[in-house]
Amino acid sequence: MSMTENPKDHPTGNAEKDPDDWTTGDEAMTGAQASYLKTLSEEAGETFDDTLTKAEASKRIDALQEATGRGK
């Protein structure tokens, strides 16, 4: 996408960004991430880790969605 293009013309162009590339990925996970991750962890019979970063939580959510079938 060039500098003159309107990003709203391609709203999903950057919707999927690797969590390792997030500028805030090393910050503590958000409240929403923690809540959803706790729910997914319980459903999967896994331990909830409240010390994850935003990036780590995102990856864990993806893995648990796959494990629980919620990601479909």
pLDDT, residue 35, reads 98
Instruction: Report the number of distinct structural domains present in the chain.
Output: 1
Least Cα distance to 19 among 46, 70, 56 occurs for 56
pLDDT, residue 12, reads 55
Could you list the residue range(s) of the whole structural domain that residue 36 is in?
A: 29-66
- Answer yes or no: is pLDDT of 11 > 60: no
| pLDDT tens-digit map of 23-64 | 888 999 999 999 999 999 999 999 999 999 999 999 999 999
| pLDDT tens-digit map of 13-24 | 556 788 888 888
Tell whether 15 is covered by a domain.
Answer: no
Query: How far is the C-alpha of 67 from the C-alpha of 43, rounded, in Å?
Result: 9
Q: Which residue has the tokens 């003159």?
A: 4
Tell whether 24 is covered by a domain.
Answer: no
pLDDT, residue 7, reads 60
Tell whether 60 is covered by a domain.
Answer: yes
